[in-house]
Amino acid sequence: MKIINGRQIAKHIKSDIKTKIKNFKDITGKTPGLATILVGSNVASKIYIQSKIKACQEVGIQSFHNNISTQSSQDAIIRLINDLNSNTLINGILLQLPLPDKTFTQNCINAINPVKDVDGLHPVNYGKLSLLKSWNDIIKENVLIPCTPLGIMHLLQYSNIQLSGKTVLIIGRSNLVGKPLAILMLSQNATVITAHSKTYNLDKLTKIADVIIVAVGIPNFLNKNYNIKDNTVIIDVGINRTVDGLCGDVDFNYIQNKNVRITPVPGGVGPMTITMLLSNTLKAFINQNKINL
Helix H or strand E encompassing 286:
helix 269-289
Interface with ligand NAP, residue 174, by CB under 6 A:
yes
The SS3 assignment for 40 reads coil
Nearer to ligand NAP, 80 or 185 (CB): 185
Nearer to ligand NAP, 102 or 198 (CB): 198
Nearer to ligand NAP, 93 or 215 (CB): 215
Interface with ligand NAP, residue 270, by CB under 6 A:
yes
Instruction: Report d(CA 170, CA 154) in Å as an integer.
Output: 16
Interface with ligand NAP, residue 182, by CB under 6 A:
no
Catalytic residues: 52, 96, 119
Site string for ligand NAP, 209-228 (x = CB under 6 A): ------xxx-----------
Backbone angles phi, psi at 225, to 5 degrees: -75, -10
> What is the closest distance, in whole angstroms, from the C-beta atom of residue 118 to ligand NAP in the complex?
14
Backbone angles phi, psi at 201, to 5 degrees: 50, 50
7 and 35 in contact (C-beta within 8 Å)? no
Interface with ligand NAP, residue 146, by CB under 6 A:
no
Nearer to ligand NAP, 115 or 176 (CB): 176
> What is the closest distance, in whole angstroms, from the C-beta atom of residue 147 to ligand NAP in the complex?
7
> What is the closest distance, in whole angstroms, from the C-beta atom of residue 265 to ligand NAP in the complex?
7
Interface with ligand NAP, residue 49, by CB under 6 A:
no
> What is the closest distance, in whole angstroms, from the C-beta atom of residue 184 to ligand NAP in the complex?
14
Question: Which residues, including other chains, have CB under 8 Å from residue 13's CB and lie 6 or more apart?
Answer: 154, 158, 272, 275, 279
Instruction: Report d(CA 192, CA 172) in Å as an integer.
Output: 12
> What is the closest distance, in whole angstroms, from the C-beta atom of residue 213 to ligand NAP in the complex?
10
Amino acid at 214: V
Instruction: Report d(CA 260, CA 274) in Å as an integer.
Output: 25
Instruction: Report d(CA 207, CA 210) in Å as an integer.
Output: 9
Instruction: Report d(CA 52, CA 49) in Å as an integer.
Output: 5
C-beta neighbour count of 70 within 10 angstroms: 11
Residues 227-256 that bind ligand NAP (CB under 6 A): 237-240
Among 86, 197, 201, 242, the residue binding ligand NAP under the rule CB under 6 A is 197
> What is the closest distance, in whole angstroms, from the C-beta atom of residue 135 to ligand NAP in the complex?
21
Among 4, 155, 177, 247, the residue binding ligand NAP under the rule CB under 6 A is 177
Options 60-68, 77-85, 132-140, 175-183: segment touching ligand NAP (CB under 6 A): 175-183
Nearer to ligand NAP, 17 or 272 (CB): 272
Q: 78-97 in b/e burial notation, b at 16+ Cβ within 10 A? A: bebbeebbeeeebbbbbbbb
Q: Which residues of this chain interact with ligand NAP, rule CB under 6 A?
A: 148, 171-174, 176-178, 195-199, 215-217, 237-240, 269-270, 273
